[in-house]
Amino acid sequence: MRSGAEHRLRALRERLAAIEGGKRTGRVLPFGDGRVDACLPGGGLPRGRWHEITGEGLEQETAAAPAAWSARLGSRLLSDGGGEAVWIGQSEDLHAPGLAALGLRPIFVLVRNDTEALAAAEDALRARGVAAVWAEVAGLDLTAGRRLQLACEAHGATGFVLRRRLWAHKGGAETGAGSASRWRIAAAPSNPGHLPGLGPARWRVWLERAAGGRPGAWIMEMGDEADRIRVVSELAADGLAAAEPSIRRAG
């Protein structure tokens, strides 16, 4: 009896969180694949909120795969509704031609530490005409997370916080509480199919937490302009992909 009551209470809390998220934004960015959208409140990535993205292994320092995946996903925000993108970094290692190939041409802002990065992100999110903001930080606390969310709500811009350990010695709490979702991204082997050379970029994608949603894991692949990211297959608990079914659209 108690187990059933706890289950119903948990379901009610998740439903209320999903409703609250919908009140704040009223919009989502669907991946276009039920396996992913079913894990997210409202059937897609909530717009007008901020999302935490981290890497795995060495990617926790370089953030190459998280940057590429989030750039490809974020470019959909711009193509759907227009607006500018702003990328705030603490190093000059961002490869602008690579981002352009992913469909993103942001305004780049170079800062010295997490404090400056978060302050710049707030300003950018509050600026009219800005649709999406990326901020590379070692970490942020609950207060910083709440300030980012208030900035997102000002004009409905979406934030992507890329966690990088490269600057961890500069400070920064190890929590991203307050984000609408938390993702972990790693590179995956490409599949050239019947073509010579390398195939489209692929990523292992873990949705670790979503307010009002549930976790999930997939192999995703870079698509074309109309189909920016495709879901190739689901990931098992051991991180291995299941046999590849027909590819479905995912944003």
Give the position of tokens 């004009």.
155
Instruction: For 117-142, write each residue's pLDDT tens digit.
Output: 999 999 999 999 999 999 999 989 99
Longest CA–CA span in the chain (Å) reads: 60
Q: Is residue 9 a part of any domain in this protein?
A: no
Instruction: For 77-112, write each residue's pLDDT tens digit.
Output: 888 878 999 999 998 888 888 899 888 999 999 999
Q: Is residue 186 a part of any domain in this protein?
A: yes
pLDDT attached to residue 81: 74
pLDDT attached to residue 23: 43
The helix (H) or strand (E) run that includes residue 124 is helix 114-126
Interval 145-157 mean pLDDT? 95
Residue 103 and residue 94: Cα distance in Å, rounded? 15
**Domain region containing 157:** 27-249
Residue 35 and residue 52: Cα distance in Å, rounded? 20
Give the chain's domain count. Answer: 1
Residue 95 and residue 221: Cα distance in Å, rounded? 20
Q: Amino acid identity, residue 13? A: R
Q: Is residue 6 a part of any domain in this protein?
A: no
Which residue from 204, 249, 241 is spatially nearest to 59, judged by alpha carbons? 204
For residue 229, give the CATH number of its domain. Answer: 3.40.50.300
Q: What is the mean pLDDT of the chain?
A: 82
Which residue from 169, 176, 201, 173 is spatially nearest to 71, judged by alpha carbons? 201
Per-residue DSSP letter, 118: H
